[in-house]
Amino acid sequence: MNVGIVTSFIVAGLMILSIMAFNHSIYTSSAETTITTINQNNLDNLTEIISNDMNRIGYKTGSSDNFNHIYSQDVEFQGDIYDNDSHAVTTVRWYLDTSDSVSTTTNSNDVYLKRTGPTSDGSISTLKYPVTHFELKYFAGDGTETTNTINVKSIQVEVVMESGEYHTTRSDGKKQYHRTVWKRTFVPNNLNF
Protein backbone atom coordinates (compact mmCIF):
# COMPACT_ATOMS: atom_id res chain seq x y z
CA MET A 1 0.00 0.00 0.00
CA ASN A 2 1.38 3.34 -1.06
CA VAL A 3 1.36 5.89 1.78
CA GLY A 4 1.41 8.79 -0.71
CA ILE A 5 -1.82 7.67 -2.41
CA VAL A 6 -3.60 7.14 0.92
CA THR A 7 -2.47 10.57 2.14
CA SER A 8 -3.66 12.25 -1.06
CA PHE A 9 -7.10 10.58 -0.71
CA ILE A 10 -7.37 11.79 2.89
CA VAL A 11 -6.38 15.34 1.93
CA ALA A 12 -8.79 15.30 -1.03
CA GLY A 13 -11.60 14.02 1.24
CA LEU A 14 -10.96 16.77 3.77
CA MET A 15 -10.95 19.37 0.98
CA ILE A 16 -14.29 18.10 -0.34
CA LEU A 17 -15.81 18.13 3.16
CA SER A 18 -14.62 21.68 3.80
CA ILE A 19 -15.97 22.85 0.43
CA MET A 20 -19.33 21.20 1.20
CA ALA A 21 -19.44 22.82 4.65
CA PHE A 22 -18.63 26.21 3.14
CA ASN A 23 -21.32 25.72 0.49
CA HIS A 24 -23.88 24.80 3.18
CA SER A 25 -22.91 27.88 5.18
CA ILE A 26 -23.37 30.14 2.14
CA TYR A 27 -26.74 28.52 1.36
CA THR A 28 -27.99 28.94 4.94
CA SER A 29 -26.83 32.54 5.08
CA SER A 30 -28.48 33.30 1.75
CA ALA A 31 -31.76 31.69 2.85
CA GLU A 32 -31.77 33.66 6.11
CA THR A 33 -31.07 36.91 4.27
CA THR A 34 -33.92 36.25 1.85
CA ILE A 35 -36.36 35.39 4.65
CA THR A 36 -35.26 38.47 6.62
CA THR A 37 -35.79 40.75 3.61
CA ILE A 38 -39.23 39.32 2.84
CA ASN A 39 -40.28 39.59 6.48
CA GLN A 40 -39.04 43.18 6.76
CA ASN A 41 -40.84 44.19 3.56
CA ASN A 42 -44.10 42.67 4.84
CA LEU A 43 -43.73 44.50 8.14
CA ASP A 44 -42.90 47.77 6.35
CA ASN A 45 -46.10 47.49 4.29
CA LEU A 46 -48.16 46.87 7.43
CA THR A 47 -46.59 49.64 9.50
CA GLU A 48 -47.08 52.18 6.73
CA ILE A 49 -50.84 51.64 6.95
CA ILE A 50 -50.83 51.59 10.76
CA SER A 51 -48.86 54.85 10.84
CA ASN A 52 -51.23 56.56 8.43
CA ASP A 53 -54.29 55.43 10.40
CA MET A 54 -52.96 56.30 13.85
CA ASN A 55 -51.90 59.78 12.78
CA ARG A 56 -55.40 60.39 11.33
CA ILE A 57 -57.34 59.54 14.49
CA GLY A 58 -59.82 62.37 15.04
CA TYR A 59 -58.91 64.19 11.82
CA LYS A 60 -61.86 66.34 10.66
CA THR A 61 -64.30 64.69 13.11
CA GLY A 62 -65.11 67.77 15.19
CA SER A 63 -65.40 65.51 18.24
CA SER A 64 -63.38 65.20 21.41
CA ASP A 65 -64.14 61.46 21.71
CA ASN A 66 -62.90 59.79 18.56
CA PHE A 67 -62.74 56.20 19.85
CA ASN A 68 -65.60 53.71 19.74
CA HIS A 69 -63.60 51.32 21.91
CA ILE A 70 -60.02 50.72 23.09
CA TYR A 71 -58.68 47.34 24.17
CA SER A 72 -55.21 45.80 24.26
CA GLN A 73 -55.72 43.98 20.95
CA ASP A 74 -58.60 45.90 19.43
CA VAL A 75 -59.16 49.58 18.68
CA GLU A 76 -61.92 51.30 16.75
CA PHE A 77 -61.73 55.00 15.96
CA GLN A 78 -62.95 57.70 13.59
CA GLY A 79 -61.18 60.07 11.27
CA ASP A 80 -60.82 61.20 7.68
CA ILE A 81 -58.20 58.59 6.79
CA TYR A 82 -57.59 59.60 3.16
CA ASP A 83 -58.05 63.21 2.07
CA ASN A 84 -58.89 62.58 -1.57
CA ASP A 85 -61.40 59.74 -1.30
CA SER A 86 -65.18 59.83 -1.49
CA HIS A 87 -65.53 59.21 2.25
CA ALA A 88 -65.46 61.97 4.82
CA VAL A 89 -65.13 60.70 8.37
CA THR A 90 -65.04 56.91 8.55
CA THR A 91 -64.57 54.26 11.20
CA VAL A 92 -61.38 52.18 11.25
CA ARG A 93 -60.88 49.08 13.35
CA TRP A 94 -57.61 47.24 14.01
CA TYR A 95 -57.95 43.92 15.86
CA LEU A 96 -56.22 40.60 16.37
CA ASP A 97 -58.49 37.79 15.18
CA THR A 98 -57.36 34.53 16.77
CA SER A 99 -60.44 32.66 15.50
CA ASP A 100 -59.45 32.94 11.81
CA SER A 101 -56.56 30.53 11.25
CA VAL A 102 -53.80 31.57 8.85
CA SER A 103 -53.55 29.18 5.92
CA THR A 104 -51.08 31.13 3.80
CA THR A 105 -48.05 30.24 5.96
CA THR A 106 -46.75 27.15 7.73
CA ASN A 107 -45.98 29.14 10.88
CA SER A 108 -48.31 27.85 13.59
CA ASN A 109 -47.73 31.04 15.63
CA ASP A 110 -49.40 33.24 12.99
CA VAL A 111 -52.79 34.84 13.61
CA TYR A 112 -54.50 37.53 11.56
CA LEU A 113 -54.25 41.20 12.37
CA LYS A 114 -57.27 42.69 10.62
CA ARG A 115 -58.05 46.22 9.57
CA THR A 116 -61.58 47.20 8.61
CA GLY A 117 -62.03 50.60 7.03
CA PRO A 118 -61.38 52.68 3.94
CA THR A 119 -58.54 51.81 1.59
CA SER A 120 -56.49 54.10 -0.62
CA ASP A 121 -58.57 53.09 -3.67
CA GLY A 122 -61.74 54.47 -2.01
CA SER A 123 -63.41 51.20 -1.04
CA ILE A 124 -64.27 49.96 2.44
CA SER A 125 -62.86 46.50 3.11
CA THR A 126 -61.11 44.22 5.58
CA LEU A 127 -57.38 43.70 5.15
CA LYS A 128 -55.63 40.73 6.81
CA TYR A 129 -51.98 40.49 7.86
CA PRO A 130 -50.36 37.40 9.44
CA VAL A 131 -48.61 38.44 12.67
CA THR A 132 -47.62 36.67 15.87
CA HIS A 133 -48.28 39.52 18.30
CA PHE A 134 -50.24 42.79 18.34
CA GLU A 135 -50.61 44.96 21.41
CA LEU A 136 -51.96 48.44 22.04
CA LYS A 137 -51.46 50.67 25.07
CA TYR A 138 -53.22 53.99 25.59
CA PHE A 139 -51.79 56.91 27.53
CA ALA A 140 -53.25 60.09 29.01
CA GLY A 141 -51.59 63.48 28.69
CA ASP A 142 -49.53 62.92 31.85
CA GLY A 143 -48.09 59.65 30.49
CA THR A 144 -50.12 57.26 32.63
CA GLU A 145 -51.88 54.33 31.02
CA THR A 146 -55.63 54.86 30.58
CA THR A 147 -58.73 52.94 29.51
CA ASN A 148 -60.92 56.05 29.24
CA THR A 149 -61.41 56.98 25.57
CA ILE A 150 -61.74 60.70 26.37
CA ASN A 151 -58.33 60.80 28.09
CA VAL A 152 -56.30 59.08 25.36
CA LYS A 153 -53.58 61.39 24.03
CA SER A 154 -51.08 58.81 22.73
CA ILE A 155 -51.13 55.19 21.61
CA GLN A 156 -48.30 52.68 21.72
CA VAL A 157 -48.47 49.99 19.04
CA GLU A 158 -46.35 46.84 19.11
CA VAL A 159 -46.33 44.33 16.25
CA VAL A 160 -44.28 41.14 16.05
CA MET A 161 -44.13 39.39 12.71
CA GLU A 162 -42.40 36.08 12.09
CA SER A 163 -41.45 34.63 8.73
CA GLY A 164 -44.04 32.40 7.12
CA GLU A 165 -41.55 29.57 6.76
CA TYR A 166 -38.96 28.36 9.25
CA HIS A 167 -35.26 28.86 8.55
CA THR A 168 -33.69 26.36 10.97
CA THR A 169 -34.67 23.55 13.27
CA ARG A 170 -33.31 23.47 16.81
CA SER A 171 -31.78 20.34 18.30
CA ASP A 172 -35.02 19.70 20.21
CA GLY A 173 -36.95 19.64 16.91
CA LYS A 174 -38.57 23.07 17.33
CA LYS A 175 -38.71 25.16 14.17
CA GLN A 176 -37.24 28.65 14.32
CA TYR A 177 -38.77 31.55 12.42
CA HIS A 178 -37.17 34.90 11.71
CA ARG A 179 -38.78 37.49 13.98
CA THR A 180 -39.16 41.20 13.33
CA VAL A 181 -40.47 43.55 16.03
CA TRP A 182 -41.89 47.03 15.50
CA LYS A 183 -42.92 49.30 18.37
CA ARG A 184 -43.96 52.92 18.13
CA THR A 185 -45.84 55.49 20.15
CA PHE A 186 -48.18 57.78 18.22
CA VAL A 187 -49.26 61.20 19.44
CA PRO A 188 -52.01 62.18 16.98
CA ASN A 189 -52.34 65.96 16.66
CA ASN A 190 -56.13 65.78 16.69
CA LEU A 191 -56.17 64.21 20.17
CA ASN A 192 -53.90 66.85 21.68
CA PHE A 193 -55.41 70.24 20.98
What does the pLDDT look like over 16-47, one tens digit per residue?
A: 999 998 888 888 788 888 888 888 999 999 99
3-state secondary structure of 54: helix
> Which distant-in-sequence residues (6+ apart) come within 8 Å of 8 by Cβ?
none
| CA–CA–CA angle 81, 88, 127 (5° rounding) | 45
- 134: confidence class by pLDDT, cuts 50, 70, 90: very high
Q: Is 60 buried (19+), middle (13-18) or exposed (0-12) by CB count in 10 A?
A: middle
CA quadruple 146, 150, 154, 158: dihedral positive or negative?
A: positive
How far is CA 165 from each of CA 40, 56, 107, 134, rounded to the nearest angstrom? 14, 34, 6, 20
pTM of the model: 0.82
What does the pLDDT look like over 61-119, one tens digit per residue?
A: 888 789 999 999 999 999 988 877 777 888 999 999 999 889 888 899 999 999 999 88
